[in-house]
Amino acid sequence: MAVVDIDPERTKGTVELIEQHGGDAIAVTADVRREQQVIDAVAATVSAFGKLDIAFANAGVVSRGGVPSVAGGEQVEFEDLTDADWQDVVGVNLSGVFYTAKAAVPALRANGGGVILATSSAASFVAYHSIAMYSATKAGVNGLVRGLSLDLGKYGIRVNAIAPTHGMSPNFLAPAGTPVVGQSYEEVAGPWDPGISPIPLNLNRPPSLMDNARAALFMVSDDSAYISGVTLPTTDGGTLARVSMWFPEDQGTPTLDTDA
């Protein structure tokens, strides 16, 4: 396995964890916004392991000022976002997936097929406050996945995406260099009470990082051999099925004031 990240310390830390559990991995530093660096990362992988079976485009950044109530940050009005903000989000979230897929295809074809998996988001299906740019890039990922699955299927290459809703890492909204938390938003929030959770599915534990990881593993395994062109919501727990209006039956959510 090749662990690729813009932060060399994080790649080294992840490789150490893999090796501690008996795995074999190399650390590669690359910025997914730079096509040549992604090409070099694929080349390093093939050089180390002899082939490429799976390419996972997992890098992502949120729009500046995005989800301030969660991140504890400051609200940024849409009209105050800059071209640099736009280029950064597009560069990581959409161009990064494009560069990864483009660099991976020759190696996957030489291998007789394989899998490209991208990380999309629930925000590609529904709106979240203050992250319109992020939502646009993730919707672009979904379209890219569909198109590539049609074009690359003849080479035995499957292309899919996962779209987490819950069970995501707080590091996503933290400044660069923040120590890895290793738990989901819901896990770090304190004791789990499904009675006040907005997630319709009532389970006795919160969604975790592993819930998304297991779905990703399924999507790149032979168990999903005939799944391609799909963006799978991995941890929505029924959240994406909810209509836009709150009803009294929705636990842990505000209700409409019919007297207002």
Which residues are known to be catalytic? 134
Which among 129, 187, 164 is positioned nearest to 234, based on CA atoms? 164
- Angle of helix 96-110 relative to helix 132-152, nearest 10 degrees? 20
CA distances from 135 to 50, 89, 143 (A): 37, 10, 13
Amino acid in position 107? A
Residue 170: CB partners within 8 Å, gap ≥ 6?
181, 183, 184, 185, 188
Whether the CB-CB separation of 2 and 25 falls below 8 Å is answered with yes
Largest CA distance in the chain: 68
Burial environment of residue 6 by CB neighbours within 10 A (0 to 12, 13 to 18, 19 or more) = middle
CA distances from 131 to 64, 233, 243 (A): 8, 19, 20
